[in-house]
Amino acid sequence: MHRHFILFKPYGYLSQFIYELKRKKKLLGELYDFPNGTMAIGRLDEDSEGLLLLTTDGNMSELVRSKKVEKEYYVQVDGIITPEAIEQLQNGVEIGLDGGKYKTKRCKASIVTEIPDFGARAKKIRDERHGPTSWASITVREGKFRQVRKMTAAVGFPTLRLVRVRIGNVYLQNLKSGEVLEVSDFELDN
């Protein structure tokens, strides 16, 4: 019987259970007593937060990655993001990837007017003296290395905070940073 979990990955944690290198890193196993064989489906960078799906079922992991499921991110950016920048994001932008250039696929993007309540981040972002910030929603079906961060930088609005809020039809809901919810299944179709 496989087990499935939804996690609000906090800032500063790796999306893995084992880290072989010398430096001490915070790992997912410190957040909850997961059963042996639990794996993260996809990843979030150490400095990204939000929805992470975990499972003991390797086939489920393959299914999620093969279906090109939508992933929605809320990004806090440096400056007040413009409708022009949103349109550029929607149409795809050129980012650096593996030493070359890559044009991202069309995606959904919008300005977020109601500031989400994700709670304070473990590491302070910065304060208002450094200028205004704003939030945008970006939904992609691809997942290149640090893609969303590179996309906002490409349109002139560097990412300060990135929180994944949805994978397919699975939402972050009201989970707080570090909270884990065990579920019977992932309803991913979208």
Q: Is 64 helix (H, G, I), strand (E, B) or coil?
A: helix
> What is the pairing mode between strands 49-55 and 159-167?
parallel
Q: Which of 179, 156, 135, 170 is nearest to 41 (CA)?
A: 170
Question: What are the phi and psi torsion angles at 107 (to 5°)?
Answer: -145, 175
The 10 Å Cβ neighbour count of residue 103 is 10
Choice among 33, 45, 47, 127 that is catalytic = 45
Contacts of 61 (CB under 8 A, 6+ apart): 39, 41, 55
d(CA 145, CA 48): 12
Our answer to whether residue 189 is catalytic in this structure is no
Strand partners, 162: 75
Give me the active site residues, please: 45
